[in-house]
Amino acid sequence: MLTDTERQNLMTEVATFILQSPAGLQTLLPTQHIISIRTNPIPVEYAFSIINYCERSAWVEDPALIVQLLKKFSYYPVFKAAIDRILQGRPLRFHIPSRVWDTMLLALDLPFINREETRVAIERFDNPLIATIRPAGVRVLVVKGPQESGKSYTYDYLRYVCSFLGPTNVRLVWIDLKKQASPLFGPADLASALLDQINPRWRSEGVKLPDQTQQSSRWVNELSTTIATQISATGVMTVIVIDGLDSKDETSPLGTPAETNPRISKETIDLINYLADVATGRHAAEASNDLLRLVLLGYNSPLTDFNKRIRVDDIKPLTRADVEKYFRDYAALFGIDTDAAGMTALLDLTFKDDVPTDPARTKKLAQRAFYYVRQAFGEPPPPSTDV
């Protein structure tokens, strides 16, 4: 997206900014991205990571993350020109038109394989609650799986989908409890973190969280209603993604810790359950005006599946059939013919030296699949600059 000269100049500016104002990094990019970028004590190396992260995301955000970063330094003509050039382009598409749910890439180099349950659930987020010619709507998606199985990729998938649906149709809110939760993170902290993204002006508009002096269950109940009411006020379907809820880190709903994570209180888990009830219509359905959707990554607490509006994606190990489907979808998108012998060779290369017990197996296979699909079918075509 950037020329070598633009990238080098931007790296210098970002490194200088980091050196002079390390506490001001969140003014460069939204918090959810800053905490996702690997830090480095060497400013120029950290700057490289930030720029690389933004470029790899391509047009997954609107405006593109690299454009958001460039705008912080747009007083330089070279960066202003880069912004103008990038904005003239059209986003790369990794899906057949109108089938955004079927995308096989989430960014320039991030495959999304073996996640059919998630695809179905997200597609049905926009369906009516009562089945018509379309299946009944889904309101909550729970994604389970072992460590490094790709649960967090769900957020990248949603970023891609939402970029094509547009901000007037859907808003994405993301919280990672592993990275953002403090030692005393409670339901009020979670509510505040969500409201900061749902309506950044909620405090200045006089919205207040309910008083904690009342009975715990009622207090948490009212917190969920406050969040839902703010979502309703936006008039936009809001997808809340809560990451970092892996079973070994969470507290059970009954307060009996299996392996208790002190960052997440029982009441915080209760709030998540209440939000699921609101989303499915089991509790205070009118509060959100059916605009709340909930995605829980690594969540193992029991939920009441009211009217079958909750779907669970229990991620399974990648198979040859999963990767073959990815290869064929990629080839079909760019109009490339495939043959049986060639496909077998590609799969053999991808699964060569595969170790089924390797915790990082999913990531390694996905990276290999991406590498070999490019070797066989070529790079995705550059985006059109036609207006």
DSSP 297-365: ET--S----GGG-EEEEEPPPP-HHHHHHHHHHHHHHTT----HHHHHHHHHHHTTT--TT-TTHHHHH
- Per-residue buried b or exposed e for 288-303, using 16+ beta carbons within 10 Å of the residue's own CB: bebbbbbbbbbbbbeb
Return d(Cα 134, Cα 124) in angstroms, integer.
Answer: 9
- pLDDT at residue 64, rounded to an integer: 87
371 membership: H or E segment, kind and range: helix 361-377
Helix (H, G, I), strand (E, B) or coil at 251: strand
Residues 6+ apart with CB under 8 A from 165: 100
**Cis ω on the peptide bond leading into residue 210 (within 30° of 0)?**
no
- pLDDT at residue 382, rounded to an integer: 54
Q: Are 137 and 129 in contact (CB under 8 A)?
A: yes
Domains along the chain with CATH numbers = 4-88 (no CATH), 115-314 (3.40.50.300), 320-377 (no CATH)
Tokens representing 367? Answer: 């990276």
Tell me the per-residue pLDDT of 262-306, one tens digit each, with 9 for 90 and over: 557 889 999 999 999 999 999 988 999 999 999 999 998 899 999
Return d(Cα 340, Cα 8) in angstroms, integer.
Answer: 44
Helix (H, G, I), strand (E, B) or coil at 272: helix
Please, what is the angle between helix 116-123 and helix 153-165, to 10°? 30
Return d(Cα 212, Cα 210) in angstroms, integer.
Answer: 6
- Per-residue buried b or exposed e for 151-165, using 16+ beta carbons within 10 Å of the residue's own CB: bbbbbbbbbbbbbbe
pLDDT(257) > 60: no
Between the CA atoms of 281, 286, 290 and 292, what dihedral angle is there, to the nearest 10 degrees? -80
Q: Which residue matches tokens 């390390």?
A: 22
Going by C-alpha positions, the residue among 49, 46, 157, 170 that lies closest to residue 106 is: 157
Confidence of residue 386 (pLDDT cuts 50, 70, 90): very low
The rounded percent of the chain whose pLDDT value lies above 90 is 58
pTM: 0.86
- pLDDT at residue 250, rounded to an integer: 41
Return d(Cα 287, Cα 217) in angstroms, integer.
Answer: 18
Return d(Cα 192, Cα 200) in angstroms, integer.
Answer: 10
Tell me the per-residue pLDDT of 151-186, one tens digit each, with 9 for 90 and over: 999 999 999 999 888 888 999 999 988 877 666 678
Tell me the per-residue pLDDT of 1-57, one tens digit each, with 9 for 90 and over: 899 999 999 999 999 999 998 878 888 888 888 888 988 999 999 999 999 999 988
